[in-house]
Amino acid sequence: MASVGFTAFAILFLIGMVGIFLWQSLPVWQQEGWSYLTGERWFFRQLEFGILPMIYGSLAVALIALGFSVPIGVGAAIFAAEILHPRLRVPLKIAVELLAGVPSVVYGLLGILFLRDWIYSILTPFDPLSGDTLLTAGLLLGMMVLPTIMTLSDDALRGVPTGYRQAARGLGLTRAEVIFSAIFPQAWRGILAAVLLGFGRALGETIAVFLVVGRQDNVLPEHWFSLRPLIEAGQTLTSKLGGAETHIAYSDPLHWAAIVGLGLVLLAIVAGITWLAAWLMRAKEVSDAPGI
Amino acid sequence: MFRLLSTFALLLALALPPETQAQTVLKINGSTTVNLPVAEAAEILRTEQGMAIQVDTQGGSSGGLSMLGDGLVDIGMSSKHLIDSDRSKYPQVQFEEIHIGEDAVAMIVSRDVWEGGVRALSREQLQGIYEGRIKNWKEVGGADQRIAFFNKSPGSGTWEVFANWLYGSAKKAPQVSFPEVGGNEEARNKVASTRGALSQLSASWADGKRVFPLALTTEDGRLVEPNSTNIATHQYPMSRPLFLLTNGKPQGLAQTFIEFVLSERGQQLVRKHGYLSLDQIE
Amino acid sequence: MRRVFDRFLTGLTALCALIGVSIILMIVAAVVWRGGGAISWDFLTDQIRLVGASGGIFYNILGTLILLVTALAVSAPFAFGIALTHGVFLRKTRSRERLMMWIYVLNGVPSILLGLLGFIVFVLFLGWGKSWLTGGILLGMMMVPTVAVSLSERIQALPSRYLDAAAGLGLTESQRIWSVILPQSFGGWVTGSLLGLARAAGETAPIMFTATIFAGATLPTGIKENPVLSLPYHIFILAQDSFDPATGEKLWGAALVLLLLVFSLSLAALPLRLHLHEEAKTS
């Protein structure tokens, strides 16, 4: 049946992507092996390819994004699902959907125009190099990921059957207590999935990050928790892929392999996180409260 | 729904003639510096002669070179000379460099650096900054301010010219990591809005209002500014030619285009965007 | 004490919601403020001149529309295939869950990787150069999960009385699909597609290596070596390389047009989704 054929193709698409990336990046794996992942130096002119700083950059930026968007997103979701008057739900939902639809290039523009200078002036006491930092990219990403977290957390909270709420209310609990004692224990899986999906999205975003992250290679802190690099420029897996090197790398097999390798690593990380999120949500039937 | 799909299919079929028309489109790619007069020339030829010309700036001068070498474009734009390793990467390709104008790479600084007294740098000082040994403007006669150096992105002809002058050849440049800027406008914007900033920029973009071009101190202590005279007479060390590259002698559409750029109207465009036209160079 | 905490939580979460709403308002305000002045009939119907310093964005809008229509056509068979497989052909819950997980993972693939894949397969292997079709295919594949899930939800939510009636009339499975399920779930396809298109319209990364250029393309005349202009790529390049202060307003004008396009697509899906949701609730 044609349906199954198309379905199979869609699945193979993903496997094919992994396969093609693996094949095209083979030279760098053969040449560098594990030191590709753990190496701290990327100097393409000398054919040195270590991507640890970019992995650090991607993680740092995504974690900052979550730090901003999770509290606000989950808070707003709680408000929308539990507290808000039902009439006002639709306008709020519309606002969130529109926010989710804003293209990343527009976010990038806003980052260049407003966020960059704002961060630069705020960070002045710390003597930053410029306004393009990992922090800037992280905050911008936070705004981009906020609607995702909000919508999915809202879905998770609404997915808890009303019976729980009624029972808890009947016991005399305040609304806050209902939320924490009755709803959260049921909804935490969905909320965690929302956070993971937001994380995956933040890791995969290219254009907005490219414009405000500074694009400086080989930035790695001495200690993993030192905060200094956050106010310096950095490089992420995506900002490298979206940059000039991808256009010029093809003339050298090793350079090209290193670039495609970035794609492979990014794919592996994001696919893993998304799979985990999907697994967490597996208990929810697809037919549960679609959309609004 | 079927009707929709079949209508679309019909439109698709109408839009696809049996042969692709790749030969009648002129494709150009390369340096953002050269792009300015070239893009405008393309616009004029499109309007006046109905030529189909596509211009893009992916990968800078190196991108122009590699896309020409890979056969993806007909003309490459470059703001630096070809070197042997460029040619050896594409042994089948016969690169023709067609000189269309002259420009220079200036070291530009932000207003606070300029007003802090820094007006020139020597080769040694620039090397020190590039290699990270000199980190503060006070070490080179300026105020106490961290040097914020922005390096041009990979593929940039501007960077190669800079590295050539500093180290004799781009290959000999040491490995460094600085924040990156892409095209000329991004470089200018970043330098204008960052304290203590320094970067490489096409001299014609250094307007003296938002960003300020430094003079270079030569071995015998002279200060050479990147103005038209010094560039035209090659006294300014980092002058660089603007090239259109082709594979073999230009033919057909490429030839028409290049002849236009070399004509008086084309050269006027070169001057309009702040570069030196061929007649101004010595 | 408990009351205080309750009030506090209410206030805190309300603040969060307020922050969310104000962000979208600020974004729209900023783009309108900066770009509103550039919008005019000429801007929308003229082509780019002087590398973006004057002229308009007509061919950019056209290019984006070409990509969207192609993406719609490409995504439809896959979305229907997946939704039908999930809703009708797969019996076991386990298999359904597995399929959905794959779809989620597909949805999470960063768009830059689609661009990279497209570059390798279409530009390097097939030698198509930059082509509008490549862009349409990549954007279409990106849309598939959104459309498939929306369709799937719709199929799941079909009132059982339709299917019962069909069974009662003795229809075969194939007839059930074509005469009952597909027509009834059409709304799900429309809403899913509108949402998917809204996302596809704003994407730069999948098309910047494979389908779009900055200047010089009008209408494609074939498949190979036939790029299009596009709104997001235009904005991306100008954001880094605007050559003239005059382009500033035009740059934001293009951003405003893109934003309006994306919002229209998103909002167009809304009435239908509300209607479908109501119907699902009452049946």
Compute φ and ψ for C224, nearest 5 degrees: -75, 150
According to the model, what pLDDT value does residue A181 have?
82
**What is the pLDDT confidence band of residue C280, given thresholds at 50, 70 and 90?**
low
According to the model, what pLDDT value does residue A84 have?
78
Tell me the domain boundaries of chain A.
50-220+228-282
Selecting from B15, B32, B54 the residue whose C-beta is nearest the C-beta of C216 gives: B54
Instruction: Please say whether the dihedral angle defined by the alpha carbons of residues A259, A261, A267 and A270, taken in this order, is positive or negative.
Output: negative
Secondary structure letter of residue B205 according to DSSP: G
The answer, yes or no, to whether residue B180 has pLDDT greater than 80, is yes
Interface residue A117 vs chain B (CB under 8 A):
yes
Identify all chain B residues contacting A248, using CB atoms and an 8 Å cutoff.
59-60, 62-63, 66, 154-155
**What is the pLDDT confidence band of residue A175, given thresholds at 50, 70 and 90?**
confident
**What is the pLDDT confidence band of residue C282, given thresholds at 50, 70 and 90?**
low
Check CB contact under 8 Å for B182 and C240. yes
**What is the pLDDT confidence band of residue A288, given thresholds at 50, 70 and 90?**
very low
| Cβ C237 vs Cβ C12: under 8 Å | no
Q: Which of B42-46, B55-59, B152-156, C245-249 has the lowest mean pLDDT?
A: C245-249
| Cβ B25 vs Cβ B257: under 8 Å | no
Secondary structure letter of residue A234 according to DSSP: B
The answer, yes or no, to whether residue A289 has pLDDT greater than 50, is no
Q: A49-68: per-residue pLDDT in tens?
A: 999 999 999 999 999 999 99
Quote the CATH superfamily of domain A50-220+228-282: MetI-like (1.10.3720.10)
For A70, residues 6+ apart whose C-beta sits below 8 A from its C-beta are A149, A195, A198
Averaged confidence pLDDT in chain B: 86
For A160, residues 6+ apart whose C-beta sits below 8 A from its C-beta are A182, A183, A186, A187
Which token pair is A54?
């970019």
The answer, yes or no, to whether residue B131 has pLDDT greater than 70, is yes
Which token pair is B263?
């004509």
According to the model, what pLDDT value does residue B261 have?
93
> Residue B244 belongs to what H/E stretch?
strand B239-247
**Cα–Cα dist B7/A116, whole Å:** 48
For B105, residues 6+ apart whose C-beta sits below 8 A from its C-beta are B158, B161, B162, B165, B200, B201, B202, B203, B226, B238, B239, B240
According to the model, what pLDDT value does residue A284 have?
52
Give the pLDDT mean for A104-132. Answer: 88
According to the model, what pLDDT value does residue C92 have?
83
The answer, yes or no, to whether residue C246 has pLDDT greater than 50, is no
Residue B85: CB atoms within 10 Å: 10
According to the model, what pLDDT value does residue B105 have?
92
**What is the pLDDT confidence band of residue B22, given thresholds at 50, 70 and 90?**
very low
Identify all chain B residues contacting C219, using CB atoms and an 8 Å cutoff.
15
Entry field: residues in chain C: 283
User: What whole-number percentage of chain A has pLDDT above 70?
Assistant: 96
Check CB contact under 8 Å for B55 and C214. yes
**What is the pLDDT confidence band of residue B2, given thresholds at 50, 70 and 90?**
low
Q: C196-223: per-residue pLDDT in tens?
A: 999 999 999 999 999 988 877 888 888 8
Which token pair is C268?
């167009």
Alpha helices, H only, C36-57:
41-45
**Cα–Cα dist B81/B86, whole Å:** 10
The larger pLDDT score, comparing residue B96 to residue A127, is at B96
Cα angle A88-A91-A96, degrees, rounded to a multiple of 5:
120
Q: Which of A14, A69, A79 to mutate to test the interface with C (most CBs of C within 10 A)?
A: A79
Which of C176, A131, A211 shows the shortest CA–CA distance to B148? A131
Give the pLDDT mean for C99-104. Answer: 89
According to the model, what pLDDT value does residue C202 have?
93
The answer, yes or no, to whether residue B1 has pLDDT greater than 60, is no
According to the model, what pLDDT value does residue B23 have?
56
**What is the pLDDT confidence band of residue C51, given thresholds at 50, 70 and 90?**
low
Beta strands B215-217 and B120-122, pairing class: parallel
First to last CA, chain B: 68
Which of A284, A265, A252, A81 shows the shortest CA–CA distance to A183? A81
User: What whole-number percentage of chain C has pLDDT above 70?
Assistant: 93
Give the pLDDT mean for C109-132. Answer: 92
Check CB contact under 8 Å for C241 and B182. yes
According to the model, what pLDDT value does residue C53 have?
61
Q: C126-182: per-residue pLDDT in tens?
A: 988 889 999 999 999 999 999 999 998 888 888 778 777 877 888 787 777 888 888
Give the pLDDT mean for C52-77. Answer: 88
The gap from C-alpha C51 to its chain's centroid, in whole angstroms, comes to 28
Q: Which of B267-271, C35-39, C130-134 has the lowest mean pLDDT?
A: C35-39
What angle separates helix C58-84 from helix C247-282, to the nearest 10 degrees?
30
The single residue listed with the structure tokens 């209410």 is C10
Give the pLDDT mean for B123-139. Answer: 93
According to the model, what pLDDT value does residue B20 have?
41
Identify all chain A residues contacting B194, using CB atoms and an 8 Å cutoff.
120, 129-131
The gap from C-alpha B36 to its chain's centroid, in whole angstroms, comes to 9
The larger pLDDT score, comparing residue B7 to residue B124, is at B124
Alpha helices, H only, chain B:
2-15, 32-49, 60-69, 84-89, 111-115, 123-130, 157-167, 184-193, 228-232, 252-262, 264-272
The answer, yes or no, to whether residue B17 has pLDDT greater than 50, is no
Averaged confidence pLDDT in chain C: 85
Interface residue C246 vs chain B (CB under 8 A):
no
Selecting from B175, B180, B197 the residue whose C-beta is nearest the C-beta of A43 gives: B175
According to the model, what pLDDT value does residue C247 have?
54
The answer, yes or no, to whether residue C109 has pLDDT greater than 60, is yes
Structure ipTM: 0.89
CA distance to partner chain C, nearest, from residue B55 (Å): 6
Check CB contact under 8 Å for C242 and B185. yes
Q: A219-258: per-residue pLDDT in tens?
A: 888 777 778 888 889 999 999 999 888 888 888 899 999 9
Q: A62-100: per-residue pLDDT in tens?
A: 999 999 999 999 999 988 888 777 888 888 888 888 888
Check CB contact under 8 Å for B20 and C222. yes
